[in-house]
Chain A
Amino acid sequence: MLIATSAALFALGLLGVIIRRNVLVMLMCMELMLNGVNLALVTFAQRTGSAAGAVLVLLVFVVATAEIAIAIPIVLLLVRRKDQLDLDAYADLKG
C-alpha cells in the first residue's frame, strides 16, 4: 500500500512538472517526486530492517536542499530579466 502511495506521489509530481506553467510550482512538484522516492526508500528500509535506506533518505534530503538553494537564485535572475514566471516565456533559451 505504501509502495503504491509512493508511486502515485512520484507520478503526480511528474505530471505537475509537465503540465504546470509556473516555474516555482514546477520546482515544488519536483520536491513532490523526491518525497515519493523517499517514501519508497523508507518503506523498504523498514521492511528489510537495514539502515542503508534511511541513510539514503538523509542524502536525498541534502541533495534536495542543495537543489532548491541553487534553483531559487536562478529563478530570481530569470524573473529579474523578463518579469515572468511562465516557463514558456523563456523558450528562447532553447538551443
Chain B
Amino acid sequence: MIETWLLWLFALTALAAAVLTVVLRHPMRVALALIAAMLALAGVYALLGVHVIAVFQVLIYVGAVMVFMVYAIMLLDVRDRSFTRRFSTLVVPGVVAAVLFIAILAHAVWHALPAAGRPALGSSALFGLQRFSVEFLAAYWLQFELVSVLLVAAVVAALAVLEVGHRLRG
C-alpha cells in the first residue's frame, strides 16, 4: 500500500521536475531540475525492485553525466540571447507538435497494453545484483564487449575534437 503511494509520489515528482526542466530559464536551475527528475526515477526503479538500475542511475547519470554538465555550465557562463529569450521561434509549432505526439502516443499505448495491471511491487528477488550480473555476463557478453569498443571510439572522438580545436586556434 505504502509502496504504491511512494511509486505515485516518485513518478509525479519526476514529471514535475521534467516540466521544470523545460520551462526554467537559467541552465544551472535546469540542471538541478533534471537531477531531481533522475533521482525520482531512481526511486521508481528501486521501488520496482530493479536495484541494479537504480544504483547505476544515481552513479552514472547523477554522478557522472550531470556533474560533467554542471561543470560545463559553470565553465560557460555566457549570458547571450538564449538567456534573455529562453524559447526559440519554434515555440508554437513545437508545443502543437508535442501535444499531437502525446495524443498519438497515448492512443497507441492505450490500445496496445492489455487491461493494464498495476506493476507488481516487491516481487524483486528477480533483479538482485547476483542474478543480474550472472545473466549479463553469461548471455550478453557480446554486447558488453561492443560497449567497450563504443567507449574507446568515444574517447578517440573526444580527442579528435580537441585536436580540431587546437588546429583552429594555432
On A, residues with C-beta under 8 Å from B are 1-5, 7-16, 18-25, 27-29, 31-32, 35, 38-39, 42-43, 45-47, 49, 51-52, 54-55, 57-59, 61-66, 68-70, 72-77, 79-81, 83-89
Given the contacts A24-B27, A46-B49, A51-B127, A70 and B78 also touching, CB distance less than 8 Å = no
Alpha-carbon separation in the docked complex, A52 to B136 (Å): 8
Sorting the interface of chain B by its residue count into under 10, 10 to 19, 20 to 34 or 35 or more gives 35 or more
Residues A79 and B76 in contact, CB atoms below 8 Å apart = yes
CB distance A79 to B85 under 8 Å? no
A51 to chain B, nearest CB (A): 4
| A54–B15 touching, CB < 8 Å | no
Q: Who on chain A is nearest to B76 by CB?
A: A79
Q: Would B106 and A87 count as touching, CB distance under 8 A?
A: no
Contacts of B31 on A, CB cut-off 8 Å?
28
- When C-beta atoms are compared, the residue in chain B nearest to A16 turns out to be B22
